[in-house]
């Protein structure tokens, strides 16, 4: 028995591959294009492990996907492959349409044909699990109930619009062709191997280097934060017991304003690695907000708890401490991912934003 994981060298995907092999041991075929956020160093501990087969390639390469399905005959596809950063989608939306929409379409079509080649028992056990985001639901006003699975889609960025489109494709391939699909919509993940363009790792890396900590606008944008290890456990649970065609929201029950996150990280770093120059909060710099910035996301994760028995194990306090400590212990990984291309992107995104 084997599963095919797409995007398994990225942040959440690599954590899932490591978690899957530790918890289950079932072999994984890992397909990843190794763009800027895909990093084989995330999987260094699997070197020489026969249970992990890595293939460099694009989910939009139909011939490659067909070959992998025919050769390995996986019992499930878990689709993490996506462009996933709102700021990058604003600067270059085309890549998001190509990967998130066209790539998902290619995977769905390949899975549909593959399913027809299986015997009855294999068809009945096959699953296509699509990993999506809470951002497809849009922005919540203060005090409004959290997103449930029935919430109307209202994406506001090129990224969230492309993910919403992919979610609709997955739903359509289930209802039209009978493809046995499952969808998860998660809140903001954080944890080990997080590429330092996102808020939490960017703040950790910049604070350790004594660089400004850029905070968009007033910093009162609220997100629900989910430790990546909890997310991996939720995906395993949905894959094992989720009802076909259903969507499951996965959240951490941790609504926090961005400025609160930044101050928490500063305090942890001051505790764990004091800076002779003074408290890291001195580095906080408010910059011009990004266009169309959603003010609040919140996930109602009661359905997955009620139906499948999953609930996050980490509080934000325990998860963020583990995350900060991981970055302190893995300075070599941080240095490796901070390539010239990464620095150029930081200049492009933050260079034009004046401090306020």
Q: Which residues are catalytic?
A: 134-135, 159
Helix axes 62-72, 104-116, angle to 10 degrees: 40
Residue 12 CA to residue 255 CA, distance in Å, equals 20
How does strand 76-79 pair with strand 127-133?
parallel
Q: In sequence order, which residues have a C-beta less than 8 Å from that of residue 44 and are 6 or more positions away? A: none
DSSP 66-116: HHHHHHH--SEEEE------HHHHHH-THHHIIIIIIIHHHHHHHHHHHHH
Dihedral of the alpha carbons of 124, 186, 94, 158, in degrees to the nearest 10? 130
Contact 258, 202 (CB under 8 A): no
């Amino acid at each position: 028995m084997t599963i095919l994981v797409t995007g398994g060298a990225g942040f959440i995907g690599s954590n899932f591959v490591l978690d899957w092999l530790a918890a289950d041991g079932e072999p994984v075929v890992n397909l990843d294009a190794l763009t800027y956020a895909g990093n084989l160093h995330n999987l260094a501990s699997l070197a020489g492990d026969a249970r992990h087969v890595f293939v460099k390639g694009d989910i939009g390469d139909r011939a490659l996907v067909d070959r992998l399905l025919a050769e390995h005959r996986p019992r499930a596809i878990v689709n993490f492959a996506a462009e996933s950063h709102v700021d990058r989608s604003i600067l270059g939306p085309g890549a998001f349409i190509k990967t998130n929409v066209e790539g998902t379409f290619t995977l769905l079509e390949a899975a549909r044909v593959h399913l027809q080649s299986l015997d009855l028992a294999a068809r009945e056990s096959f699953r296509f699990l699509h990993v999506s985001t809470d951002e497809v639901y849009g922005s919540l006003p203060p005090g409004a109930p959290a997103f449930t699975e029935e919430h109307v889609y209202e994406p506001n960025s090129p990224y969230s619009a492309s993910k919403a489109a992919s979610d609709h494709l997955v739903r359509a391939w289930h209802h039209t062709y009978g493809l046995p699909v499952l969808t998860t919509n998660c809140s903001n993940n954080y944890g080990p191997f997080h590429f330092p363009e996102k808020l939490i790792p960017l703040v950790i890396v910049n604070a350790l280097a004594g660089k400004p900590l850029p905070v968009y606008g007033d910093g009162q944008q609220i997100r629900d934060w989910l430790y990546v290890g909890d997310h991996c456990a939720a995906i395993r649970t949905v894959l094992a017991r989720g009802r076909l065609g259903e969507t499951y929201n996965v959240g951490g029950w941790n609504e926090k304003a961005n400025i609160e996150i930044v101050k928490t990280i500063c305090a942890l770093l001051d505790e764990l690695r004091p800076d002779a120059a003074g408290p890291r909060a001195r580095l906080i710099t408010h910059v011009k907000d990004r266009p169309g910035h959603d003010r609040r996301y919140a996930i109602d994760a009661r359905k997955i708890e009620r139906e499948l028995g999953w609930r996050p194990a980490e509080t934000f306090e325990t998860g963020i401490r583990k995350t900060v400590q991981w970055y302190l212990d893995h300075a070599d990984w941080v240095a490796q991912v901070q390539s010239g291309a990464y620095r150029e992107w930081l200049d492009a995104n933050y260079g034009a934003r004046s401090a306020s």
